Amino acid sequence: MVRNFRGYAVSAGMSVCMLVASPAFVEGAERVVLISIDGLTATDAAELGTPRFDAPNLRALMLGGARADGVLPTTPSNTFPNHVTMVTGVSAATHGIYDNDRFSPDTDQHGLHYHYYSDIRSPTLFDATRDAGRTSMAIWWPVTTGAPVDHLLADVPGDVRERGKYVFASATRDIRRVLENPEKAAEVTDALRLEAAIAGLDGSPDFTAIHFTELDAAQHDFGAGSPEALAVLARTDRYLGQFLDELETRGLREGAAIVVVSDHGFSPLHTAIFPGRLFRAYGLLELDDRGNLESWDAYPWPGGGALAVYVNPESDGSETVRRTVDHVIDVLASNPESFVHAVYRGNEMTRWGGYPDAYALINLKDGYAFGGDLDSVLIRSGTQTKGIHGFVPDRSGTYGALILSGAGIEAGARLEAVRMEDIAPTIAKLLGFSLPTAEGRALTRALANDLQ
List, in order, residues 6 or more apart from 107 with CB less than 8 Å away.
Answer: none
Q: Which fold has domain 2-266+396-451?
A: Alkaline Phosphatase, subunit A (3.40.720)
Domain ranges within the chain, ordered by starting residue: 2-266+396-451, 280-388
Dist. CA 175–CA 180, nearest whole Å: 9
- The answer to whether residues 71 and 65 touch, using CB atoms and an 8 Å cutoff, is no
Above 90 in pLDDT, residue 25?
no
The reported pLDDT for the residue numbered 449 is 66
In this prediction, what percent of the chain has a pLDDT beyond 70?
A: 91
The reported pLDDT for the residue numbered 112 is 78
- Tens digits of per-residue pLDDT, 159-206? 677 889 999 999 999 999 999 999 999 999 999 999 999 999 999 999
List, in order, residues 6 or more apart from 35 with CB less than 8 Å away.
Answer: 209, 210, 212, 240, 243, 258, 259, 260, 261
Dist. CA 56–CA 259, nearest whole Å: 16
Of 87, 48, 203, the C-alpha closest to 134 is 203
- Tens digits of per-residue pLDDT, 101-141? 989 887 655 457 898 999 999 999 999 999 999 999 999 99
The reported pLDDT for the residue numbered 450 is 61
Give helix then strand counts, H and E, for the chain: 15, 20
List of E strands, 155-255: 207-212
Average pLDDT, integer, range 213-224: 97
The reported pLDDT for the residue numbered 274 is 96
Burial class (CB in 10 A: 0-12, 13-18, 19+), 338: exposed
Length of the chain: 452
Q: Which of 91-100, 124-133, 397-406 has the lowest mean pLDDT?
A: 397-406
